[in-house]
C-alpha cells in the first residue's frame, strides 16, 4: 500500500524537531482527521532556507510528507520553496494512496503558513503567497474531486 520511500520517511523522519528563534512558523490542521502539522523555517538575509524542522501530530503519511517536504525546501529560496506543491511532495514519495493525498496537502499548507509568518515578521510580501488556511478540510473536499 505504501511505497518504500513513504515507509523510510515514516520510520526515519528527517528534520524532526523545532528551531529556536525561527524566521517563521506555520501550524495547520485538518479538522476532519484531527491531524496537525507545524513547520519551522530558518531563513537567511538572502532569502535562503538554511534550516527547516517539523513536528507532526498525525498519521504515518503525514509524518512522511512532512519529512520529505523539509528535504524539498531546505537550501531553496523562499520563491522556490513556494513552488513545492503537494503534488511535488507525493511525487517525491513515489506516490501515496488516494485516501492519503490530503496528508500531503497539509505539508504544502504548513510550508505556506511558515512562509506567511516569515513575511509578516519581516513586513514583506511574497509574490504568489496567499494567506494560508488554518484548517485544510475545505480545500481537501475540492481536491478530492480532482484526484
Ligand atoms: Fe489526516 Fe493523514 S489522515 S493527515
Of the candidate CATH numbers 2.60.120.20, 3.40.50.2000, 3.90.1010.10, 3.40.640.10, the domain formed by 4-146 belongs to 3.90.1010.10
Q: Which residues line ligand 1 (CB under 6 A)?
A: 30, 33, 35, 58-59, 61-62, 100, 102-103, 106
Instruction: Provide the whole-model pTM.
Output: 0.92
Contact present, 54 and 37 (Cβ < 8 Å): yes
DSSP helix/strand/coil, 57 = strand
Among 2, 28, 102, say which to mutate for ligand 1: greatest number of ligand atoms within 8 Å of CB: 102
Alpha-carbon span 114 to 140, nearest angstrom: 20
Question: Quick check: 90 and 71 in contact, CB under 8 A?
Answer: no
pLDDT per position as a tens digit, 44-80 = 999 999 999 999 999 999 999 999 999 999 999 999 9
What is the length of the chain?
147
Where is 49: in which H helix or E strand?
strand 49-57
Ligand 1 nearest-atom number relative to CA 59? 2
pLDDT-derived band at 38, boundaries 50, 70, 90: very high
What would you report as the CA-atom Rg of the chain, rounded to the nearest whole angstrom? 14
Check whether 14 has a pLDDT greater than 90.
yes
Cα–Cα distances (Å) from 63 to 35, 77, 82, 90, 128, in that order, read 10, 23, 20, 13, 26
Q: Does the pLDDT at position 24 exceed 90?
A: yes
Residue 109 confidence (pLDDT): 95
Would you kindly state where each structural domain of the chain is located, as residue ranges?
4-146
Distance 122 CA to ligand 1 centre (A): 32
Q: For residues 42 and 58, is the Cβ–Cβ distance under 8 A?
A: no
Report pLDDT digits (tens) over 75-121. 999 999 999 999 999 999 999 999 999 999 999 999 999 999 999 99
Amino acid at each position: 500500500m505504501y511505497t518504500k520511500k513513504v515507509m523510510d520517511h515514516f520510520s526515519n523522519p528527517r528534520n524532526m524537531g523545532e528551531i529556536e528563534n525561527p524566521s517563521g512558523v506555520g501550524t495547520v490542521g485538518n479538522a476532519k482527521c484531527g491531524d496537525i502539522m507545524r513547520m519551522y523555517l530558518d531563513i537567511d538575509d538572502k532569502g535562503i532556507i538554511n534550516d527547516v524542522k517539523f513536528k507532526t501530530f498525525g498519521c504515518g503519511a503525514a509524518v512522511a510528507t512532512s519529512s520529505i517536504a523539509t528535504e524539498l525546501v531546505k537550501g531553496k529560496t523562499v520563491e522556490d520553496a513556494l513552488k513545492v506543491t503537494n503534488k511535488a511532495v507525493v511525487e517525491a514519495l513515489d506516490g501515496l494512496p488516494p485516501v492519503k493525498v490530503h496528508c500531503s496537502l497539509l505539508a504544502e499548507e504548513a510550508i505556506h503558513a511558515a512562509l506567511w509568518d516569515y513575511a509578516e515578521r519581516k513586513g514583506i510580501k511574497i509574490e504568489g503567497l496567499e494567506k494560508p488556511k488554518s484548517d485544510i478540510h475545505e480545500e481537501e473536499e475540492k481536491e478530492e474531486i480532482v484526484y
